[in-house]
Structure 1
Amino acid sequence: MSIESDPTALFESHRRRLFNIAYRMLGSATEAEDAVQDVYPRWHRSRPELLVSPEAWLTRVLVNGCLNRLASARSTRERYVGPWLPEPVLTDSALLGPLETVEQRESVSTAMLVLLERLTPRERAAVILREAFQYPHRDIANILGVSESLSQQLCLRARRRLADGTTRFEPGDGHRRRLTREFLAAASTGDTSGLRTLLTDDVVAWADGGGKASAARRPIVGVDKVVRYLTGWLSRIEEAPTEYSPLTLLSAEVNGAPAVIGRTPEAVFGVMVFHRRGTRIDLLHVIANPDKLRFITRQLPTADTAVLYDEPR
């Protein structure tokens, strides 16, 4: 039986692409999985064998489901405790699609997903489909149920709102790995001078605890304040051996950027994502809300078989 004649196999062949779209729209891997799964029963009721373009049908149903989720999430995010950051996803694999260029990496970066929060749901959908997935405006218009000219306007408005977001990524796994290793070495030994050499003078750190984990509720600005925050955070972990023991720090790629993951054998307790300007870090995103760490916990191998760059403490 060919994939085309097997509705389940055909749906599964589109699952990763649908997840990629949903994650960029929602900023949450957990919600993206749910959004994709919500499409599945409708797919079977649609008589897939009669569809002219299964891909177009699946994308339209998924995107409209995501638009509904974004509308209902707005009030929740307005009540969110402290800064909101997207749910981190390991991108050492191809889960979020190929990340071979600067543009592809930026499309899934935590910095870009935060910027996308500025957009209306339809602007967000239009610019993601256009920029990240190269959909023509004709198809975007059909998916959103708007005219082709309005699709173009939505993308234009979205680009203007995102105009102050700067490209931060440069190719090169070697440099990304060196950056995280140097950061881990300096942080784990309390080398504040070493940390300063890795950060720009105007570095900014944002932390997302969601009111469920200890985290700064306002951005921390400037190299001295950020260094104090990082060293204080690590020292608090060392003073809580019951909660965070045995602790392992992993160097990894998260959302296309270098990152450090703190974990115990049971779960991830924190993810720190680095954004670079040139060769130094100018932006840090720290995700500590346990609700946002469940997906990446499932992604990681067990502590005994970790294949990332282990830095045990």
Structure 2
Amino acid sequence: MSIRLDLLTEATKRGPFVRVLVIEVKGSAPREPGAEMLVWADQTQGTIGGGTLEYEAIARARGLRAPKVERFALGPDMGQCCGGAVTLAFEPVHAETLAKIDGPAFARPFGGAPDMPLAVRQALAEARRGALTAPVLREGWLIEPIAPPPDPLWIWGAGHVGRALVNVLSPLPDWAISWADTGAERFPDTLPPNVTPLIAENPADLVSLAPPQARHLIVTFSHALDLELCHHILGRGFAGCGLIGSQTKWSRFQRRLTELGHSSAQISRIACPIGDPLLGKAPQAIAISVAAALLRERNIRAGTAAKEGCTG
């Protein structure tokens, strides 16, 4: 996992905080390297796995003035059943510090010599090649790869399924969400910071604003609008597209899209129906299964392997 400067910068608007970062895991542990939690005097954001480890990390973070690294044996030290060990970095964060970060990785001393060692320069070279995918501690220096911008995700429709999708996906840092519908009254009164509402009498007119690398989820109230969106998105280019509906609806759409001039290979790139039928048809069930598929795809592209873990 990589450092998200945009999210950390946004967090500094609430004042300075201590960032608690998982930098190494041995054996079974609640979270993977790169997982983080932000700790203020009166609140927290994010999680490093919950349970006793997180409780102790919050207590250590509050009042901290200087960076430090600490290793926790989850069984002997925390009384947790995971049996592994976790190394955490505790780092006070200020907006001024974040503003100075530039390049493919963020390297700074964590108890090491102020002059950058050769091992750190080698880690920075790895970052430039894209070979550094998680934080590492080398000779008293902490090095983290800088995360690329979040993937653009366009959600078409602010009905029950659209709202469920936004509720599930917006807390994750992986996507910048554009949410389109026909009127302001269709949206909730407040939206998460990574969600941009887009309003048009005919939302299909907005497709030209979406970047070709965007992913689309079409969940509007109208079959006619759904079809028009599919037509425009196929002509625009996209990284992925999912359409809510039945097999009957999709068969009809395939015929109509063929008549509109799209090839079978193009049309087959649209996934319909979305969601895992084994989880049910409730909006929240659809949202959970769609989010799981998006996360699985993103992790495969990033080369992130699942690790054994525990939560308490």
Is the pair's TM-score, using the shorter chain for normalization, greater than 0.5? no
Larger % of strand: which?
Answer: 2
More relative contact order, 1 or 2 (CA 8 Å, 6+ apart): 1
Larger % of helix: which?
Answer: 1
Q: TM-score, normalised by structure 2?
A: 0.28
Tell which structure's C-alpha radius of gyration is larger.
2
Q: TM-score, normalised by structure 1?
A: 0.28
